[in-house]
Amino acid sequence: MRVAFVTGASRGIGRATALRLARDGWAVGVNYLRGEEPAMDVVKTIEEMGGSALAVRADVADARAIGRAVEEVAETLGRISGVVCNAGIYMRRAFHEMTLEDWERTIDVNLTGAFNTVMATIPHLRRGGGSVVFVSSQLAFRGSSSSVAYSASKAGILGLMRGLVLQESHHGIRFNAVAPGTIDTDMISGYSEERRRARAREVPLGRIGRPEEVASVIAFLLSDESSYINGAVIDVNGGLYMR
Ligand code: NAP
């Protein structure tokens, strides 16, 4: 059984990805930070499907903690060959209200967290190859009206991915990213009904996306079906910004 490690898999896109990967036959390391109960629920759901999973608590911003989580998953489930750098936060702050702490926490979780996750898993990936998928955002390409740090972190992830393609692909490791538009998860739970409708109207498909619609693209990029795709960024946005 192939083994995947998914960060931020207790909720939203990460949860949908863990469940999708399990359905595709992967054993899954389910990383979480605060959501122990929802992470355990992901594991239980996977086990009920006949799959294998292990929940591991770690702050992705903490290199040692994520290193320990990765080793625990590898010892329990086997060599990790699929990695999904998904954990992320969005702190809504106008620039004039933003503090250095807000900036640093966003960069630490969204960008350094992805770096830490690759650093911790790369010894496993180098032994036999694998695939890494980064969860970026449409806000990597556009300015954000509510967090400059978020846009910077998501653009930074693409720089990290491109460097890894050049430096690590010879080990048989592929690195790709997805750039979701607005997806219906807790990350947008603060939106009013009116704002949700306005967001949906901006999208040519006329609706906000579902976490499962991002998970299926991540699963494709982790699978051998995408064996010659390396360094790609796939938009999962319903056609946003075509106008
Ligand atoms: P979400 O529902 O808020 O879930 C975030 C997940 O990240 C949770 O499982 C959370 O775990 C985990 N997490 C947060 N900080 C963490 C940390 N320091 N260490 C480990 N795990 C941490 O968000 P989502 O919408 O699914 O977002 C997933 C990814 O997609 C993020 O990178 C986000 O930027 C990106 N994205 C989302 C959208 C969107 O519209 N939803 C659009 C573009 C990109 P706990 O709850 O256990 O703490």
What would the pLDDT profile of 112-146 be if each residue is shown by its tens digit?
999 999 999 999 999 999 999 999 999 999 999 99
pLDDT of residue 242: 84
147 lines ligand 1 (CB under 6 A): no
Residue partners of 88: CB distance under 8 A and separation at least 6 = 8, 109, 110, 113, 135, 153, 187
Quote the Cα angle for 41-26-224, to 5°.
145
Q: What is the mean predicted confidence (pLDDT) over 74-86? A: 98
Q: Mutate which of 86, 157, 240 to test ligand 1's pocket (most atoms within 8 Å of Cβ)?
A: 86
Span 4-8, average pLDDT: 99
Mean pLDDT, rounded, of the chain = 97
**Are the C-beta atoms of 78 and 3 separated by less than 8 Å?**
yes
Identity at 220, one-letter amino acid code: F
Q: What is the pLDDT of residue 241?
A: 85
The CB of 185 under 6 Å from ligand 1? The reply is yes
Strands 80-85 and 130-135: parallel
The Cα–Cα gap between 156 and 136 comes to 9
**Confidence category of residue 43, pLDDT binned at 50, 70, 90:** very high
Mean pLDDT of 80-96: 97
88 lines ligand 1 (CB under 6 A): yes
Instruction: Compute the average pLDDT of residues 153-182.
Output: 98
Ligand 1 atom with the shortest distance to the CA of 36: 47
Domain boundaries, the chain: 3-242
The pLDDT assigned to 52 comes to 98
Query: Alpha-carbon torsion 181, 69, 118, 130, what sign?
Result: negative
Confidence class for position 87, pLDDT limits 50, 70, 90? very high
Catalytic residue numbers read 150
Q: How many CA atoms lie within 13 A of 73 on its CB side?
A: 36
Closest CA to 132 of 151, 115, 149: 115
Q: Is the pLDDT of residue 243 over 80?
A: no
User: DSSP string covering 115-167, please?
Assistant: HHHHHHHHHHHHTT-EEEEEE--GGGTS--SS-HHHHHHHHHHHHHHHHHHHH
Question: Is residue 218 scored above 80 in pLDDT?
Answer: yes
pLDDT band at 163 (very low <50, low <70, confident <90, very high): very high
| Residue 61 DSSP symbol | T
C-alpha distance from residue 136 to each of 3, 51, 72, 123 (Å): 22, 28, 26, 23
Query: Does the Cβ of 35 fall within 6 Å of ligand 1?
Result: yes
Work out the number of other CB atoms within 10 angstroms of the CB of residue 156.
18
Task: Identify the architecture of domain 3-242 in CATH.
Answer: 3-Layer(aba) Sandwich (3.40)
Residue with CA closest to ligand 1 atom 31: 88
